[in-house]
Amino acid sequence: MTNIHNHKILILDFGSQYTQLIARRVREIGVYCELWAWDVTEQQIRDFNPTGIILSGGPESTTEENSPRAPEYVFNAGVPVLGICYGMQTMAMQLGGLTETSDHREFGYASVLMENPTALFADLNDGDNKLDVWMSHGDKVTRLPQNFQVTGTTPTCPIAAMSDESRHFYGVQFHPEVTHTKKGLELLTNFVVNICGCETKWTAENIIEDAVARIKEQVGDDEVILGLSGGVDSSVVALLLHRAIGKNLHCVFVDNGLLRLNEGDQVMEMFGNKFGLNITRVDAESRFLGELAGVSDPEAKRKIIGKVFVDVFDDESKKLTKVKWLAQGTIYPDVIESLSITGTVIKSHHNVGGLPERMKLRLVEPLRLLFKDEVRALGEALGLPSHIVHRQPFPGPGLAIRIIGEVTPEKLEILRDADAIVREEIDAYNRRLFDETGVRDSERSVWQYFAVLPDIRSVGVMGDERTYARPVILRAVESSDAMTADWAKLPYELLGKISSRIVAEVPGVNRVAYDITSKPPATIEWE
């Protein structure tokens, strides 16, 4: 079997929200990497035995006392090191250079003039020996460490990149991990593949082979239970386990009644009939709605949904007396915002909680170190259809968090029907774009789209009468990295058609609005 962890990159996180993107780009290149907080020990690094090390950006200032520093061993490990933004600054400071604060900060596009040949910039050029990059910094390196040379400069940042080729140490003040830096992926490839010498064996097919082998080794002939939601995470886990242990996997689909139109039936058809999984459907709508009655706070709703799911799942697990393992689709990089100085920051919209200790089940988490885009790639390789792999938003709390205020059967029916129209029309729009361009994610295609039901009434006219009915808000965004998202520039004709259909076909709605706020500052799910 291919060893997909033989070559690996260690990324030390100094608290930047960009950091996860570094890891995702390295994985895209085909190389395994892990993301750790900056204050790791020498022994931990030795045990990991990285092929190369990347120091991330961060919000701190290297000029401040007690600001974060890389472990000294990083520079004595005998492997290539790349410092990005804050990572370059701390590299300079730790190796005898100097970083200073500046009155002139740089945020946004910049053109870096490349000076002195360097392996990091090999075969990179956006014209006139310059690179179009994305800057985001206040401090800057003002004195090189010994044996370093300047390899990139801008008018306001004379040391925009530096290198010590003899030790394979490199620093860039800009962010190659963001898509705004045009040759960013090529630069990271130069570092990871050409300089570090990593093989590119981190592929979907190899990850599947590795995961199946690990599951077989971990579980053996034991039986396993999985809570299947119909989202991409649990779906991929289900197919991995099915491939590894077959009928020893018991899937429990808890239908909370908060799903989109016909989704419950689609889940059963997909996994029960098409893939032949051992799956039980539990109709728990009344139980969920009963617990949600009278609750308006979005975070409280999330916690209730998570708790009730656990309770229902617990009840079902008691019926399966031979089960010894619990499978979960937890993706920790998707849950963790940053490994900052203050510790791990959990994204607010995730309910990270375990199952009751009384269940006494051991955990199987085959996706725990993967990123969402990697999970989608695995789903495609396992044969999942596009509407499952690219399902947005995720089913967890379902429609409940897109109903602003209390969740009631009436509101659920309105939102479910309106949402179905939104999906139908934008699905068709995306298909037309695909037919025109041959590209699934063209620059005009829509990444995520749904309806929201606010807790207000709107004045309208039906015939000769005034109506006081509910408005529906349409949300549609485009994104290249799933972390930032701009509102989708949908044609007016399409927006008009969606609006007309919702008002005409969904009783209780008399107005449709379109949300044109980008993320950030707006979140996507609209709680």
Measured between alpha carbons, how far is residue 322 from residues 42, 216, 253, 270 in Å?
44, 17, 19, 26
pLDDT in tens, 390-417: 776 666 678 998 999 999 999 999 999 9
Q: Which pLDDT value is given to residue 351? A: 43
Which residue is it, tokens 């229902």?
Answer: 312
- Residue 352 burial class via C-beta count within 10 angstroms: exposed 0-12, middle 13-18, buried 19 and up: exposed
SS3 content of the chain, % helix, strand, coil (to 5): 35, 25, 40
Whether a cis peptide bond, with omega within 30° of 0, leads into 59 is no
The pLDDT-based confidence of 386 (bands split at 50, 70, 90) is: confident
Q: What is the pTM of this model?
A: 0.82
Label the pairing between strands 465-478 and 448-452: antiparallel
Q: Which pLDDT value is given to residue 265? A: 92
What integer is the mean pLDDT of 443-469? Answer: 86
CATH number 3.30.300.10 given to 408-515: yes
What integer is the mean pLDDT of 264-291? Answer: 93
Q: Which pLDDT value is given to residue 358? A: 63
What integer is the mean pLDDT of 68-90? Answer: 96
The pLDDT-based confidence of 447 (bands split at 50, 70, 90) is: confident
The pLDDT-based confidence of 347 (bands split at 50, 70, 90) is: very low
What integer is the mean pLDDT of 139-161? Answer: 93
Tokens, residue 332? 């920790």
Secondary structure of residue 220 in the 3-state scheme: coil
Least confident window among 310-314, 414-418, 455-459: 310-314
Q: What is the Cα–Cα distance from 149 to 130, expressed in whole angstroms?
A: 17
Q: Which pLDDT value is given to residue 433? A: 85
Q: Which pLDDT value is given to residue 184? A: 95
- Would the pLDDT of 379 be above 90? yes
Domain boundaries, the chain: 8-195, 204-389, 408-515
Angle 287-290-293 (CA atoms, 0-180°, nearest 5)? 150
Asked if residue 389 lies in contact with residue 230, where contact means CB atoms within 8 angstroms, the answer is: no
Which residue type occupies 385? P
Secondary structure of residue 421 in the 3-state scheme: helix
Percent of the chain residues topping a pLDDT of 90: 62
CA nearest to 95, candidates 81, 85, 105: 81
- Would the pLDDT of 208 be above 90? yes
Q: Which pLDDT value is given to residue 441? A: 60
CATH architecture of 204-389: 3-Layer(aba) Sandwich (3.40)
- Would the pLDDT of 336 be above 90? no
- As annotated, the active-site residues are 85, 175, 177
- Would the pLDDT of 281 be above 90? yes
pLDDT in tens, 1-47: 678 999 999 999 998 877 888 999 999 999 999 999 999 999 999 99
Q: What is the Cα–Cα distance from 506 to 413, expressed in whole angstroms?
A: 9
The pLDDT-based confidence of 472 (bands split at 50, 70, 90) is: very high
CATH architecture of 8-195: 3-Layer(aba) Sandwich (3.40)
Q: What is the Cα–Cα distance from 527 to 523, expressed in whole angstroms?
A: 8
Q: What is the Cα–Cα distance from 367 to 153, expressed in whole angstroms?
A: 41
Tokens, residue 473? 């808000």
- Would the pLDDT of 482 be above 70? no
Q: Which pLDDT value is given to residue 318? A: 87
- Would the pLDDT of 349 be above 50? no
Tokens, residue 527? 């709680």
Percent of the chain residues topping a pLDDT of 70: 90
- Would the pLDDT of 137 be above 90? no
Which residue is it, tokens 């774009």?
Answer: 433
Asked if residue 32 lies in contact with residue 202, where contact means CB atoms within 8 angstroms, the answer is: yes
Please provide the average confidence, as pLDDT, over all residues in the chain: 88
Tokens, residue 516? 């044109």
Q: Which pLDDT value is given to residue 141? A: 92
- Would the pLDDT of 300 be above 70? yes
What integer is the mean pLDDT of 159-187? Answer: 94
Q: What is the Cα–Cα distance from 92 to 79, expressed in whole angstroms?
A: 17
Q: Which pLDDT value is given to residue 426? A: 93
**DSSP bridge pairs for 364:** 327
Q: Which pLDDT value is given to residue 348? A: 39
What integer is the mean pLDDT of 445-471? Answer: 88
Which residue type occupies 234? S
Q: Which pLDDT value is given to residue 434? A: 83
What integer is the mean pLDDT of 107-128? Answer: 92
Beta carbons within 8 Å of 101's beta carbon, 6+ residues apart: 61, 63, 138, 139
Q: Which pLDDT value is given to residue 107? A: 75
Q: Which pLDDT value is given to residue 177? A: 92
- Would the pLDDT of 381 be above 50? yes
- Would the pLDDT of 138 be above 60? yes
- Would the pLDDT of 310 be above 50? yes
Q: Which pLDDT value is given to residue 435? A: 83
Query: Which H helix or E strand runs over 255?
Result: strand 249-255
Check if 8-195 and 408-515 are the same fold. no
The pLDDT-based confidence of 355 (bands split at 50, 70, 90) is: low
The pLDDT-based confidence of 88 (bands split at 50, 70, 90) is: very high
- Would the pLDDT of 319 be above 80? yes
Q: Which pLDDT value is given to residue 1? A: 64
